[in-house]
Amino acid sequence: MRKIRIATRGSELALAQARLVAGLLSARHPNVAVELVLVESEGDRDRATPLAALGGTGVFTRKIQEAVLSGSADLAVHSAKDLPTGQTPELVLAAVPARGPREDVLVAGRRRLADLPAGSRIGTSSPRRQAFLAALRNDLVFEPVRGNVPTRIRKRAEGEYDALVLARAGLERLGLAREIDQVFGPEMILPAVGQGALAVEAREDDRQLRDILAGTESVPARREVEAERAFLATLGGGCHLPAGIWSETSGDSLVLEGGVALPDGSRVVRRRVAGAADDAPALGHRLAEELLASGGREILQELSRFEGQDRLPEEP
């Protein structure tokens, strides 16, 4: 019997996601024993310093990847939206399981966005969420928020924030769907690259494990994530960029809608492309190129105006 050690962060959401992958492995390979290896990421260790100051991209993934590279774990489970677009040497994206919901949601004590009075304090540290939400409501006040999902919900309930914007998938995986007051479709807020998807990394030379993980793979989810990551890589930004993308697979076709916005929401550019799903990375690249040519490049150049503001990695 082979034992597979899964490296994961210790937050409730990270553990829930690691257990999802463990369950997939156990269901397909009953002769495999699965063990979780808890790893404290840089973002978990320091909860006071702004995430951008900790290095931005990779603060939730680097230590977990190092555990796999060092041999203390066999594979790593990440939220796909946390995984930097550049490939880590000696590691491969071995599996992308079936994707969860990708939308952002509002948690506001039984109120919808239209019900919030002007000046309401919205807890979010995501430049993307802030930018697209500000385009809808420029009379809201956006305040940074740290902590895991239950902590954020508690802070809102105690009055520190009037509302939160969180990932629907995270709330559902934690059994907290009851907290959702409004689901933001892509016409309102475009999700983060990879949002709702899990990314399973393994060592490139571990062929046996990669063959085992192939049974957990969802081809549509893989194609969508590859298209979205190519989109972000072509834009030249990391998870701090106020850009989002929506992917929709239908048979052999893939439809992508991407957008980029100024942090204050004063300008948003969106574009939509469709093509063959088996050409997903090229389609993501094409979407980014069309977005840049249609005004997105000017938005990216203008972002330097906002450099004095904290730009934090994507959050739960």
The set of catalytic residues is 82
Inter-residue contact 238 to 313 (CB < 8 Å):
yes
Q: Where are the beta strands (DSSP E) in the chain?
A: 2-8, 32-38, 75-79, 91-95, 104-107, 121-123, 141-143, 163-167, 182-184, 198-203, 243-250, 253-261, 268-276
Two tokens, residue 150: 């239950």
Secondary structure element (H or E) that encloses residue 22, with its range: helix 12-28
What tokens appear for 15 in the block? Answer: 């553990």
**CB of 29 closer than 8 Å to CB of 215:** yes
For residue 225, the surrounding DSSP H or E stretch is helix 219-235
**Residue 120 Cα distances to 60, 147, 162, 272, angstroms:** 29, 20, 6, 32
- From CA 168, how far away is CA 183, in angstroms rounded? 8
The residue type of 215 is G
CB 190 within 8 A of CB 83: no
312's tokens: 């934090």
* Cα–Cα dist 195/224, whole Å: 10
- Residue of 46, 184, 187 lying closest to 122 (CA atoms): 184
